[in-house]
Chain A
Amino acid sequence: GQNIDQPTEMTATEGAIVQINCTYQTSGFNGLFWYQQHAGEAPTFLSYNVLDGLEEKGRFSSFLSRSKGYSYLLLKELQMKDSASYLCAVRDGSQGNLIFGKGTKLSVKP
């Protein structure tokens, strides 16, 4: 079966660092995506990992370990505008469709 797990909610302080974890068990794997979604808005692409290791893009970094079925999204120097849901999605190996986790709602407090 297909299963993607991430925490439901997290809270962090402005200026701090937060790590959002994602574990997955899928029948195939062809990459892992992170999307950001503000309440009532469309998801927007943040990062993509297909090989093991860390991908850095400004304040955001994403890590992948394929052998462990594990990824995390690291957000540095948190800003109030980072308050949003963060969606982990695995691209399956057959049709290349995305399988989404239920999302982690991050609240950034002053």
Chain B
Amino acid sequence: DADVTQTPRNRITKTGKRIMLECSQTKGHDRMYWYRQDPGLGLRLIYYSFDVKDINKGEISDGYSVSRQAQAKFSLSLESAIPNQTALYFCATSEGGLYQFFGPGTRLTVL
């Protein structure tokens, strides 16, 4: 079984819809992260969480929200999706902030 899983793996939606991307981990890591990756722009941090009650904004948090439901689960929501949120989204985990382990990614297309 994969250590970091993301659902769904692919999603096509329409402008204005609410979307939730989910991430689960079995590594027992304390820290979890959400990134988006766009061609030519690299990986950019959206939100991160050091523990269940700790949520922090990253570089590009506008238009996104997150929830850390348990140590093992971290979900990303787009309240009202727009086309420029079309991207590849990665969840990552780390223990104490050192090595980050990435999930397989969710490819989101907003029409």
Minimum CB–CB distance for B32 against chain A, Å? 12
Flag if B97 contacts A95 (CB, 8 Å): yes
By size class, the interface of chain A is 20 to 34
B40 in complex: contacting residue of A41, A98, A102, CB < 8 Å: A102
B100 and A44 within 8 A (CB): no
A103-B44 Cα distance, complex, nearest whole Å: 12
A98 → chain B, closest Cβ, in Å? 6
A45 x B99 contact (CB < 8 A):
yes
Number of A-B contacts (CB under 8 A): 48
B residues near A45, Cβ cutoff 8 Å: 99-101
Residues of A within 8 A of B88 (CB): 40
Q: Could you tell me the distance between the alpha carbons of A95 and B58 in the complex, rounded to whole angstroms?
A: 11
Chain B, interface size category, equals: 20 to 34
Residues of chain A in range 82-107 having any CB-CB distance to chain B below 8 Å: 87, 89, 91, 95-98, 100-103
Residues of B within 8 A of A (CB): 33, 40-45, 48, 56, 58, 88, 90, 96-105, 107
Q: For the complex of A and B, list the 9 residue pairs with the smallest distance between their C-beta atoms, beginning with the closest.
A: A96-B97, A102-B42, A42-B102, A100-B43, A100-B42, A43-B102, A42-B104, A45-B99, A103-B42
